[in-house]
Structure 1
Amino acid sequence: MQSHPLREPALAEMHLRQMPPLTVPCRVMQVVRLPIQAEREAEREAVSHIAPEQHLDLDARHISGAVNGCFAAWERHSEASTALIVLPGGYDATAEQGAVAWLEGLPGKVMRATRLDIVADMDAAEPLVQAARFSPLEMVSCDIRGGHIWSDFRLGPDERYGRTVFAASSAHPSDLGRIVQQLQELGNYRNLALMGLATAQQHGAEVTAIETELARAVARFGDADDRALLNDLTSLAGRVAALRAQTEYRMSATAAYGRIVQDRLGSLAPRSVPGYQNLAEFTERRLLPALRTCESFRCRLEAVALRIEQATGLMRTRVDLALQDQNAALLQSMERSAARQLRLQHLVEGLSVLALSYYAIGLVGHLLLGAEALHWLHVSSEIVLGVAVLPILLMLGMLVRWRSHAASGHIHTD
């Protein structure tokens, strides 16, 4: 059998991001960064310290290994990078410092940094929860798939890491790894989704200004110069296009991140504890309004772009109708001019026939006088000349008309 070229990448994608089984107690530290393109090479160099003896593929999107004997993982997303280390309980302090130094030394601006302490049960968690000094009004405490979580999702006293405590209780080590992974992804994608809120708030006033200017422009229909109004609409269309180019990716990413957050909440299925916030309640209380704000911003931008397109179409229709009226008037004027030219041509032709006839009759008269003097005529020359006037007029009229039609046919042929 011949495998499809995408078979292995598809299988590899299904096995990415797997957290190893965790044994308690341990500490999981993760940092989410937004590196710029210029920092990617330095990032590759830092990632090479994960089990260098294994000759890992540095072009891969997911790399896992060990730093100073601690499990370490790094993953590159479309716009972010995540790095994670697992420090088992009772680990050597010097080696721990080396692993933390690697985690904190990666390039890129930090978007989220968390320290998750995992212990065996509620009794072991109590001193850690008290030492963390979580805000009583904002603390989240709920049951998650056999375990229990405490956090206020704020930065600790060192203003570097958010702190979370998790009591594994009856959770299986393999299931514990998946729970921790989903908890981390929930927080990561929540923060990435909230980036869109800042973008929507930053550009919301500009959308409002465009909507106001568009309303004023539409109100000027019929009262303003069409060309000036069309220029205004074209300018508004350019501003909207530029704004959509600046924000479309962020709004699309925010919607995608929001859906992932909802999926992770569904998988974790947190259960409330009386007197404390539920993880789902805490997440949705601010995230859902932010997602709706971003969706509203996106819809407003699409709506104003559509209205500008419709207004521009109406203006172009008006301009086209005006041009058609001008063309029709021009054609009528040309027809009248052609009719006048035709009448003038007929008049000229008539005058030409009369002039030519006058000279022709004069010549014939002279010939008849000569013939009469030579006694060649048996009747009076005046009688002959009078009889010849009408045939001469008819012949010259036909000759002039034929020449006119011949010239006109030659012009059309050319």
Structure 2
Amino acid sequence: MTDMAPAITTIEDHPLRYALANELHARPFPTLDAPCGAVYLAIKRPEGAAARDKDADRQHLTQLLDRFGATHPQPGATHWFGDLGKHKLKWEQHTEFVTYTLFVDQVEERPFNGQIFSHLPTDWLAKAPGVRITSALIRVEEMQDETEIVSRLTDWFVPESLAVSRVLDGSAVIAGDFRIDAAGHMRFAAFTTPDCGARRIGRIVQRLCEIETYKTMSMLGLARSRDLGPRMGALDNELTGLMSSMTGKMAQPEETLDSLLAISAELENMLAQSSFRFGATGAYEAIVNQRIDVLREERYTGRQTFAEFMMRRFDPAMRTVKSTERRLQTMAERAIRAGDLLRTRVDVERSAQNQSLLESMNKRADLQLRLQKTVEGLSVVAISYYAVNLVLYMAGPLGDAANLSKLVMTAIATPLVILGVWWMVRRVRKSME
């Protein structure tokens, strides 16, 4: 016996080390023996599914388990697998939805009559915390001769949309038409060879469930694209008209700028509200294509494979979603650029207006200065007039003593007074400046 390596006890583990490692092994494929069947149900809240209360999903599962005396999942668990009466149940919680897969070890005498779905109680289904996004009936039989398989495919599925392929190196033939039958379920069939192991059958059933679920979740992006289409068209026309008006002289550029900002804000809001759905659609599409690739399909009796069905029906829808996302982003960028250009134009026009205003203010200031100088000269004359009279009154006795007449004294005093007043006014003005 090989000696085991000694445990490392001197280093502390990351708190999430074991949880992360165990997560890779937490959702094993079921083991199934043909003939058998499966009931698949995916439940999603119509709005705000990613931010839903996920405890409600676990409570709904617990209510079902209690009816059969089954063990409960661990607190905070995102998956559960175990016995539900005489059948097996697999429960998985995802970002936007929760799935139930019930495995039965027998097939119905009448294929796809929906009786197998009655194993899930009706009143329990009515209390589901969400709505059905998809459900499927899967029938697994041992492979018969090719003629018998073709006959059953013709009876069970719609030929126009039927996809059939031989998978996993010829160990099974899978089929489905991706149509909702009268009972409200999708139908899938798998015909396995006698040497196809139980684990491989389980993987095939699991892949069929995943392809259907992620295909349906991806199509939500198409619905979102169609909802946005009319409004995006209207905004595109408005944006084009505003940008065309910017090429000429605009009467009210401020009003145009307000309209551009309103369109830009609405586009950004649409982009923010749709970013999660468009991002999720891209992720789901990648999962669908990956799940089909790992089946290693081969053409069966000349019919279209699952990959070809997706290429013809699914891929155009996904391209529409991507096109809508790119168009929305492009329109938002156009609105921002147009707003920036118009804002620059408005700033330039305002700068020109400010320049004209400054020139006008300079002219008015020059006129005020000239008027001030004129008033200043008149003030000197007025003050000098009264000052000369005061000087004559004060110097009158001196003039009489010197035998100077009043006229002579006035002639002598006037220049001196005017010069003094002018000097005083000039000094006051300079001190104020």
Interval containing the TM-score (normalised by the shorter chain): 0.7 to 0.9
Equivalent AA in structure 2 for residue 134 of structure 1: F
Q: Which amino acid aligns with 1:89?
A: Q
| Structure 1 range deviating more: 240-249 or 260-269 | 240-249
Pick the structure with more helix per residue: 1
TM-superposed deviation, 1:123: 4.5
Question: Contact conserved, 1:168 with 1:176, CA < 8 A, in 2?
Answer: no
- Map residues 329-408 of structure 1 onto 2, 5 A cutoff: 329-373=356-400, 375=401, 377=402, 386-406=411-431, 408=432
1:245-302: CA deviation from partner (whole Å, max 9, x where unpaired) = 4433222211111111121122122111242111111122111111110011111111
Match of 1:111 among 130, 133, 146: 133
The answer to whether the 8 A contact 1:43-1:106 is kept is no
Match of 1:203 among 224, 228, 231: 228
Correspondence 1:121-136 to 2 at 5 A: 121-123=143-145, 126=149, 129=152, 132-136=155-159
Say which of 226, 241, 259 aligns to 1:232.
Answer: 259
Change (3 A) 1:46 1:156: same
Unaligned runs of at least 5 residues, structure 1: 410-414
The residue aligned with 2:17 is 7
Q: Which residue of 1 aligns with 2:3?
A: none
Kindly provide the CA deviation profile for residues 305-351 of structure 1, in whole angstroms up to 9, marking residues without a partner as x.
Answer: 11111222222222222222222222222222222221111112211
**Equivalent AA in structure 1 for residue 349 of structure 2:** A
SS of 1:56's partner is: coil
| CA contact 2:32–2:198 (8 Å) conserved in 1 | yes
Q: Find 1:318's aligned residue among 339, 345, 349.
A: 345
| CA deviation string 1:103-158 (max 9, x = no partner) | 95662322221122223333498399358532333322211113221222323453
- Report percent identity of matched pairs: 28
After superposition, the Cα gap between the structure-2 partners of 1:367 and 1:155, relative to the gap in structure 1 and judged at 3 Å, is closer
- Select the residue among 92, 106, 110 that pairs with 1:75: 92
Q: Does 1:267 align with 2:294?
A: yes
Q: In 1, distance between residues paired with 2:107 and 2:135?
A: 22
CA distance in structure 2 between the partners assigned to 1:117 and 1:259 by the alignment: 26
Partners of 1:30 and 1:288 lie apart in 2 by 24
Change (3 A) 1:402 1:61: same
Task: Choose the corresponding residue for 2:27, options 13, 17, 20.
Answer: 17
Match of 1:281 among 308, 313, 330: 308
Compute the RMSD of aligned alpha carbons.
3.0
- Aligned position for 1:60: 77
Deviates more, 1:109-118 or 1:251-260: 109-118
Alpha-carbon distance in 2 for matches of 1:105, 1:169: 40
TM-score w.r.t. structure 2 length? Answer: 0.83
Post-superposition Cα deviations, 1:201-236, rounded to whole Å, max 9, x if no partner, equal 232122111111211122222244223322322332
Cα deviation for residue 169 of structure 1 reads 4.5
Question: Paired residue for 2:188?
Answer: 163
Shift of 1:400: 0.8
> Counterpart amino acid of 2:133?
M
* SS of 1:363 mapped into structure 2: helix
2:62 matches 1:45: no
1:141 aligns with 2:164: yes
Mapped to 2, the partners of 1:297 and 1:68 lie a distance apart of 48
Match of 2:177, SS state, is strand
Task: Provide the C-alpha distance between the structure 2 equivalents of 1:53 and 1:182, rounded to a whole number of angstroms.
Answer: 26
Query: 1:120, 1:353 → 2: CA distance?
Result: 125
Query: Which ranges in structure 2 are unaligned for 5 or more consecutive residues?
Result: 1-10, 109-114
